[in-house]
Structure 1
Amino acid sequence: MTPNNPLLQPFEEAPFSKIKTEHYQPAIKEAIALANAEIDAITASAEAPTFKNTIEALENSGETLSRATSIFFNMNSAETNDEIQQIAQEVSPWLSEFSNDLTLNEELFKRVKAVYEQKDGLNLSVEENRLLEKHYKSFSRNGANLKEEDKKKLREIDTELSKLSLTFGEHVLAETNNYEMLVTDESKLEGLPESEKETAAQLAKDKGKEGFIFTLQYPSYIPFMKYVKNRELRKELSIAFGAKGFQDNKFNNEDIVLKITNLRHQRANLLGYNTHADFVLEERMAKTPEKVNDFLEELLEKAKPAAEKEFKELTAFAEELDNIDHLEKWDSAYYSEKLKQKLFDVDDEQLKPYFQLENVIDGVFTVANKLYDLQFKEVQNVDKYHEEVKTYRVTNVKGEEVALFYADFHPREGKRGGAWMTVYRDQQKKDGKNIRPHISNVCNFSRATSKKPALLTFNEVTTLFHEFGHALHGMLADTTYTSLSGASVYWDFVELPSQVLENWCYEPEALALFAKHYETGEIIPKELIEKIKKSANFQEGMQTLRQLSFGMLDMAWHGIDPSTVKNVKEHESKAFENTKLFPDVAENCMSTSFSHIFQGGYSAGYYSYKWAEVLDADAFAYFKEEGIFNKDVATKFKEHVLSQGGTEDPMVLYTRFRGKKPNPEALLKRAGLIH
């Protein structure tokens, strides 16, 4: 082992300060060699294959590799630079090849198959059985039964795909970072709150410029679109935002989208599936593309009339207010915000003073304490990759370690947009020890300015709760094997813990714990909470339509044979036909920056946000019946859902918690789409 490479040494906590960029490549190379040696030891065994010497040994192989790659790819998302991106391009094909070597290893598959074929007589626990099935399927679904020449083809496809999705993401990040709008005339920013102006002025000052700078990062982009009266400037920023990856430059993603979708389709065909969606959905609660399309269509039928009615109201309002006779996409957020203020007399600027970032963090911790008896203590002695990262030790009522939690809240040049939960160390039980997980939340929230602390919009508050719901799924994991631990569950089940936690943001009993005015300490007034609750369903039809359109676009790429698609924009426009409210913008294309499906893991899975909403509305209805901090319901949720990871079929786990299958009406009622 390389003696001075920190990524190759066993460590309790990620040694960020010791890791240099030049460590990544050699560490990953050596870790692959180590993992291969562990696999060779399994296949070279003279003993007959057993659950222990084959399935468990396979599960425990590659630990050094997964530790090194988890740190590396997390850095590529949260703190990247040109060098790291270059390394990602180099090591991704190695990892793809390693993964193929594993699933196409005939000797290994023979041993796994031998154990699988005698599983009924092995007296395995529920979790062991699930692990055996998972490993067997990872071979059979990924080419173990293919002919030699097809295996070769599969390897080529996987290597190409791993590179393309990285490049896709790099292009989106570059397009986001390369754009800035400098406004020198303050009068053009009429409507924009002072706090947002301060941030924009600070950004201009940091870049040595006079005036105000706005970017395509969400904390800059969203307030601009919501509040700036100047329609031309809104148009300019909106078009720039929607043109990411769709411009005539070296960051154009159109070819990449076509290549990715075609390669995914070829891969699925090679493995005996009709489309990429058929392949993906076999391992989801939804099971088939037909079921997903039916699910989306059924929701569309309920949401579309409401959306069209809301759009009409918005159009009439804009005409009455500013004589605008037809709404464009860059008018949507602005007039929606104005209409919301008129109808509910509430806006983000009124709410933000009650949501100081530190208080919201305390709030989500208090909610977790009341529900699951967790305690969070900020500590300074944990190594971190950036000075802005906060670190917490998480313990239970007995003071025993539950998890280590990292939180990274603000945008930086090296950080991709959005918000996510990730893991540095998985929970597992090994050698008589319950090894506890290291979990991280990464977000892009507005920063403090020289005059004010970091104050969150209500949307940012729900995002923080959402990601923390994922974090709880990781922290409370209590399984034997890492590949079944925490959020290692079916993709359309993974959003349940995150989405259900968002519900507490609307409850007076929960808000009273943390929504305090940053200057006066006054708890958020009851009438403001009422307004939040009343406005929660504002334009729910339009919001639902928007989410459904993304799910339908995803299926339009992955539920078909895309080989005849020549024009990305045209194909996208067809997919949006049934959900379209605003006129099309010629310069814009969603697919070319749809990172969820072309860079993240959501291909043929974007519907899962709505799918999980059905589960979360039904689950929260149970909490509401018994009390939102009811210990019995919380304990059931922890024991049957959060701690179980992927050890059983999600519907079995959910039904065990709820006592029955989920009722979709709970979602439609909550959304105000049925009464």
Structure 2
Amino acid sequence: MTDSTTEQTVSAASFPHDSGNPLLEAWKTPFETPPFARIRPEHFLPAFAEAFAAHDAEIAAIKANKVEPTFENTVAALERAGRLLTRVSAVFYDLVGAHSSPELLEIESEVALLQARHWNRISMDAEIYARLTRLRENAAALKLTGEQSRLLERTWIRFHRAGAGLDTAAKARMAEINERLAHLATSFSHNLLGDEQDWVLELGENDRDGLSDSFVAAAKAAAAERGLAGKAVVTLSRSSVEPFLQSSTRRDLREKVYKAFTARGDNGNGHDNNATIGDILKLREEAAKLLGYDSFAAYSLADSMAKTPQNVRDLLERVWKPARARAMADRDALQGLITEEGGNFRLAAWDWRYYAEKLRQRRANFDDAAIKPYLALDNMIDAAFDVARRLFGLTFNERKDIPVWHPDVRVWEVKDAQGRHKALFYGDYFARPSKRSGAWMTSLRDQERLDGEIYPVILNIMNFSRGAEDQPCLLSPDDARTLFHEFGHALHGMLSNVTYPSLSGTSVFTDFVELPSQLYEHWQERPEVLQTFARHYQTNEPLPEDLLKRFLAARKFNQGFATVEFVSSALLDLEFHTQKAASITDVHAFEKRELEKIGMPAEIAMRHRPQQFGHIFSGDHYAAGYYSYMWSEVMDADAFGAFEEAGDIFDPKVAKRLHDDIYSSGGSRDPEEAYIAFRGRKPEPDALLRGRGLLDESEAA
């Protein structure tokens, strides 16, 4: 996933300020990167106050200009405004997500309200909106470049969708809604983090049956990080929970871990998110109706590739039927295994991964534990870098002289094929209590060249389980795929080649932004990559040919389960945002009703239950948009076919089109136009089903 909280910033030298506050001073660090060791929580509120004031003054200057609106004095001026605010926000939200503290979380609650009030004033400003409208109506006579035309249209749309065209009373209510939603989204995120921080399961010596040495080492490292040196714990990080459910022979402990994981934010305690969800849905619906839409989903999707809720529903239902059928067949096979072993119980959700792994070993003679020793984190980082070198000519050189927010963080300087500086890339890979769960890409600085070349500073944040002191971090195949996924997002930011910051990198439609990331996953599982970088962490022996073949053959195993857990979450997201909010009086009852409607297998849980669904409730970037991963998967499965058709997964001509039309163009062109430019046609939806092994070639008529 990406994180849209940070926008563009510029060189720190643009606003030196001898205030004793490092956020307001010129940064005398390599590449003018944030001096994290000097930045303390108490610096943020004064820095935000100054940044808000500076931005307000810049907006006032645009409005005070009595000259007829032009692209330069309005649209470009808006692009230049707010750079100090973006700089401060980028550092703040990086720390809140990746290395929080009680002090920062308390500040975030205040900052969320201040941000909402600040952006309400700007995005609903009638004078700015009037200037943009005049420019838009006269666009044909302005002789704009393609990128400028796109920016004008996107800027007008942004103001229009924020409510700049509403009457005074409606604007006032919209401002109130935005402020309340900002508070609720922050509360949702804090509640989720609170439940995740509060729970661990200590594993005694008798509780470790079935667990690999690498898992136990990671569990000991997690315990030490929580002040429990010498013990071993399961945490509520997905990278801890899923391998435990897959490997532990202790059914009672699997049940305990599963129930704790799926109950995050739903424990009736001070971290409970149920009431928050109801409030968010009501306010989103009201905002959508103020803007003339029947539902929040209709509002959100109007500015997407999908366009309408029905188009999203059509895609999800197209996938749901074969996925559910496959999952039900697998369920029966798993129940058969239990019976065969003499088990006198029905398959439950906490059993699925454990018995699916047994079934995979039987059918494909493969299990994750066999390949993990060959997927050391450093080797997979090198693999991701090497694919970028072979596709795009990039090289990565680690830098030890750049400040970081935690000792785990690593930084690389990125150079292009000519050896010129291209970007900085930060990698923060290990789970810790101060980090929110999940994996994401964000930025400290985005590429632009409005007033000279600004090079991007891109971040990947993960939550992998740490290895023991004498062992490297060993990744599961899913972890390795996640690393490539987020690095695909990172490349989208690093390869950006646009003039205007609002169009930089990942500033694209939500249902297009996952294309570069999901497409990049394909290279991680290719023999051409694994044969070079999958090496045993102890012997350095390459991945054996036989194990490689079994791994590749097993890739599509359990895809019914994986697709069902995703699509059910996406369908529930859509229903939350299309049905009347007043009818959703009980989140549990709504969840139960909707899952029964689609025939959700009781033995499979949604990938994200509502109370922990941060994608859609910790902000609105993916609200009514969780389907985007699958919409993009239609494109990524089809897009990788261009390399397969060329007979070379590093084909230079295809790679150049991929660079020019997808990775470097940012939001400077319509996404459908960009995809067609790369592929020569629209994507074929059945490529997704074939890729997941859910559609036979004979069915693809």
Equivalent residue, structure 2, for 1:195: 214
CA offsets, 1:618-638, max 9 Å, x none? 001111111101111111000
Q: Deviation at 1:569? A: 0.6
Q: Deviation at 1:204? A: 4.1
CA distance in 2, matches of 1:202, 1:375: 32
Q: List aligned pairs for 1:347-386, cutoff 5 A.
A: 347-386=367-406
CA offsets, 1:166-192, max 9 Å, x none? 1101111110110111233x2232111
CA distance in 2, matches of 1:121, 1:298: 45
CA distance in 2, matches of 1:521, 1:245: 43
CA distance in 2, matches of 1:209, 1:386: 20
State the AA in 1 paired with 2:496. A
Judge conservation of contact 2:396–2:413 (CA < 8 Å) in 1.
yes
Q: 1:204 to 1:670 in 2, by over 3 A?
A: closer
Q: 1:172 to 1:353 in 2, by over 3 A?
A: same
CA distance in 2, matches of 1:617, 1:148: 47
Equivalent residue, structure 1, for 2:654: 633
Q: List aligned pairs for 1:276-287, cutoff 5 A.
A: 276-287=296-307
Alignment counterpart, residue 643 of structure 1, candidates 639, 659, 664: 664
The 3-state SS of whatever aligns with 1:494 is helix
Q: 1:572 to 1:244 in 2, by over 3 A?
A: same
Alignment counterpart, residue 304 of structure 1, candidates 308, 315, 324: 324
Alignment counterpart, residue 80 of structure 1, candidates 78, 100, 103: 100
Greater shift, 295-304 or 282-291, is seen at: 295-304
Q: Which runs of 5+ in 2 are unaligned?
A: 1-16, 697-701
State the AA in 2 paired with 1:462. R
The 3-state SS of whatever aligns with 2:512 is coil
Judge conservation of contact 1:79–1:415 (CA < 8 Å) in 2.
yes
CA offsets, 1:283-342, max 9 Å, x none? 110001111111111111332222221222222222222424411111011111111112
Q: Deviation at 1:579? A: 4.4
Alignment counterpart, residue 664 of structure 1, candidates 666, 682, 685: 685
Greater shift, 663-672 or 471-480, is seen at: 663-672
Equivalent residue, structure 1, for 2:459: 440
Residue 20 of structure 2 corresponds to residue 4 of structure 1: yes
Q: Deviation at 1:133? A: 0.6
Q: Which runs of 5+ in 1 are unaligned?
A: none
The 3-state SS of whatever aligns with 2:453 is strand
State the AA in 1 paired with 2:57. A
Equivalent residue, structure 2, for 1:218: 238
CA distance in 1, matches of 2:654, 2:342: 50
The 3-state SS of whatever aligns with 1:479 is coil
CA distance in 1, matches of 2:608, 2:435: 23
Q: Deviation at 1:584? A: 8.6
Equivalent residue, structure 1, for 2:9: none
Equivalent residue, structure 1, for 2:430: 410
Alignment counterpart, residue 65 of structure 1, candidates 69, 85, 91: 85
Alignment counterpart, residue 553 of structure 1, candidates 572, 578, 583: 572
CA distance in 2, matches of 1:211, 1:373: 46
Alignment counterpart, residue 638 of structure 2, candidates 615, 618, 621: 618
Q: 1:324 to 1:376 in 2, by over 3 A?
A: farther
CA distance in 2, matches of 1:181, 1:604: 34
Equivalent residue, structure 1, for 2:334: 314
Q: List aligned pairs for 1:262-273, cutoff 5 A.
A: 262-273=282-293
CA distance in 2, matches of 1:199, 1:535: 26
CA distance in 2, matches of 1:221, 1:113: 52
Q: Taking structure 2 as the reference length, what is the TM-score of the superposition?
A: 0.94
Alignment counterpart, residue 464 of structure 1, candidates 476, 483, 490: 483
Q: Deviation at 1:591? A: 0.6
Q: Deviation at 1:3? A: 2.2
CA distance in 1, matches of 2:416, 2:157: 36
CA offsets, 1:453-493, max 9 Å, x none? 11111111100000000000000000011111101000000
State the AA in 2 paired with 1:391. V
Q: 1:409 to 1:150 in 2, by over 3 A?
A: same
Equivalent residue, structure 2, for 1:292: 312
Q: Deviation at 1:521? A: 1.3
Q: Deviation at 1:88? A: 0.6
Alignment counterpart, residue 562 of structure 2, candidates 528, 534, 543: 543
Alignment counterpart, residue 565 of structure 1, candidates 580, 584, 604: 584
CA offsets, 1:48-79, max 9 Å, x none? 11000011001110011011111101110000
Greater shift, 616-625 or 5-14, is seen at: 5-14
Q: Deviation at 1:210? A: 6.2
Judge conservation of contact 1:375–1:396 (CA < 8 Å) in 2.
yes
Judge conservation of contact 1:278–1:288 (CA < 8 Å) in 2.
yes
CA distance in 2, matches of 1:203, 1:69: 30
CA distance in 2, matches of 1:250, 1:194: 36
Residue 191 of structure 2 corresponds to residue 171 of structure 1: yes
The 3-state SS of whatever aligns with 1:307 is helix
CA offsets, 1:332-366, max 9 Å, x none? 11111111112112222111111111111111101
CA offsets, 1:76-118, max 9 Å, x none? 0000011101111111111111111012211111111111111
Equivalent residue, structure 2, for 1:426: 446
Judge conservation of contact 1:243–1:589 (CA < 8 Å) in 2.
no
CA distance in 2, matches of 1:429, 1:8: 23
Judge conservation of contact 1:215–1:221 (CA < 8 Å) in 2.
yes
Equivalent residue, structure 2, for 1:44: 64
CA distance in 2, matches of 1:337, 1:229: 12
Judge conservation of contact 1:429–1:481 (CA < 8 Å) in 2.
yes
Alignment counterpart, residue 330 of structure 1, candidates 350, 353, 361: 350
Q: Deviation at 1:585? A: 8.9
Q: Taking structure 1 as the reference length, what is the TM-score of the superposition?
A: 0.97
CA offsets, 1:204-247, max 9 Å, x none? 45634664322112232122111111111111111111111111
Greater shift, 484-493 or 216-225, is seen at: 216-225
The 3-state SS of whatever aligns with 1:116 is helix
State the AA in 2 paired with 1:376. F
Equivalent residue, structure 1, for 2:47: 27
Q: 1:311 to 1:142 in 2, by over 3 A?
A: same
CA distance in 1, matches of 2:185, 2:342: 43
Residue 415 of structure 2 corresponds to residue 395 of structure 1: yes
Let me know the Cα RMSD of the aligned residues.
Answer: 1.7
State the AA in 2 paired with 1:597. I
Judge conservation of contact 1:484–1:645 (CA < 8 Å) in 2.
yes
Q: Deviation at 1:202? A: 4.4
Equivalent residue, structure 2, for 1:254: 274
Greater shift, 135-144 or 608-617, is seen at: 135-144
Q: 1:209 to 1:470 in 2, by over 3 A?
A: closer
Equivalent residue, structure 2, for 1:594: 613
Judge conservation of contact 1:392–1:404 (CA < 8 Å) in 2.
yes
Judge conservation of contact 1:42–1:53 (CA < 8 Å) in 2.
yes
Q: Deviation at 1:553? A: 0.8
Residue 531 of structure 2 corresponds to residue 512 of structure 1: yes
Greater shift, 643-652 or 512-521, is seen at: 512-521
The 3-state SS of whatever aligns with 2:162 is coil
Judge conservation of contact 1:569–1:589 (CA < 8 Å) in 2.
no
State the AA in 1 paired with 2:110. E
Equivalent residue, structure 1, for 2:3: none
CA offsets, 1:388-407, max 9 Å, x none? 10000000121111100000
The 3-state SS of whatever aligns with 1:644 is coil
Judge conservation of contact 2:222–2:432 (CA < 8 Å) in 1.
no
Judge conservation of contact 1:39–1:61 (CA < 8 Å) in 2.
yes
Residue 261 of structure 2 corresponds to residue 241 of structure 1: yes
State the AA in 1 paired with 2:423. A
The 3-state SS of whatever aligns with 2:414 is strand
